[in-house]
Amino acid sequence: MADKNITTQTRLGFIGLGHLGSRIARRLLIAGFPMTVYNRNRDKTKALEELGAAVAPDPRKLADRVDVVLSCVPDRAAVESIYFGPAGVLRTAQPGTLIIEMSTVAPETSRRLYDAARDFGISVLDVAVSGSTVAAETGALTLLGGGDLGLFETSTPIFSAIAKQWFYMGPSGSGVAMKLVVNTLLGLGMQAVAEAVALGSKLGLPREALFDTLAKTAVVSPVQAAKLATAKQNDYAPQFPVRLMDKDFRLILAAAAQVELSMPATERAAAINFAEAAVGGDEDFSAVIRRMEQAA
């Protein structure tokens, strides 16, 4: 597959049907790609099966029937479980298969997969995903890619079905590295909003006016404005669960430690996010707004 063009006739396999993965896979299926899916919880495959996707009993059976394997799983342990070992995808996929790994993991995890796959004649792109579940549903994600530039460009038909924009960042690991940069601002920004709300509350500002006015100021991004609108209603239904933001904070700080970079604001925001994840891990990461409100 690595030396062929990707079209809507290219057979795709998708592993990991969580908050983002299920929506990405659905868009690819609707776009016309032949699709085989796998998820550890078989119940999550039913909606896609009804749309025409085949369901594989395990990752290795998925890998031997597709041209491109995409995966979007929670963490390094899940990536390693899928790809490495005697029953992993790397040992069952055909030479020439392309892997598009979309999980948020450390850059070294992506580079390890890239190097290991090369020994089997398999190509790997790390294509990190930036965007909420709403963006995934509407095909408005931002993709951040690392790996071979030619393969990244060849994969445009896949990207165009799920994203509004995609950027090539450099060699293997560069896509997920950029995702950590982006999510540094995401996590810090939400903590800043939470603290601003808490200050307004302490100063006696009416809650509704505080939320509505803050959302319309130039210093608040569209993402933060949307979070303020839902937080005003005490709605913390997960678009990006706080437990995943906690995982990303840990990856960010681990990467910073490796390069001996001090990130004091990030460290403090991570600590508050961790405290919230410990009690409401499946709520949206904007739940730190409620935590700061209650502290006020």
Q: Mean per-residue pLDDT for 136-151?
A: 97
Q: Which range of residues forms the domain containing residue 245?
A: 178-295
What pLDDT digit, counting tens, does each position of 223-239 carry? 999 999 999 999 999 99
Please give the full DSSP string across 228-290, using - where no structure is assigned. HHHHHTT----SSBHHHHHHHHHHHHHHHHHTT---HHHHHHHHHHHHHHHHHTTSBGGGHHH
**Whether 26 and 116 share a structural domain:** yes
What pLDDT, on a 0 to 100 scale, did the predictor assign at position 87? 78
Q: How confident is the model at residue 86 (pLDDT cuts 50, 70, 90)?
A: confident
What pLDDT, on a 0 to 100 scale, did the predictor assign at position 281? 79
Residue 83 covered by a domain: yes
**Whether 31 and 144 share a structural domain:** yes
Of 141, 171, 201, the residue that ends a domain is 171
What pLDDT, on a 0 to 100 scale, did the predictor assign at position 124? 98
**Whether 41 and 120 share a structural domain:** yes
Mean pLDDT of the chain: 96
Of 113, 142, 171, the residue that ends a domain is 171
Residue 83 has pLDDT above 60, yes or no: yes
Residue 3 has pLDDT above 60, yes or no: no
**Whether 139 and 218 share a structural domain:** no
Q: How confident is the model at residue 168 (pLDDT cuts 50, 70, 90)?
A: very high
**Whether 27 and 152 share a structural domain:** yes
Of 127, 145, 171, the residue that ends a domain is 171
Residue 2 covered by a domain: no
Q: How confident is the model at residue 1 (pLDDT cuts 50, 70, 90)?
A: low
Tokens of 10: 């290219």
**Whether 196 and 254 share a structural domain:** yes
Residue 106 covered by a domain: yes
Number of domains comprising the chain? 2
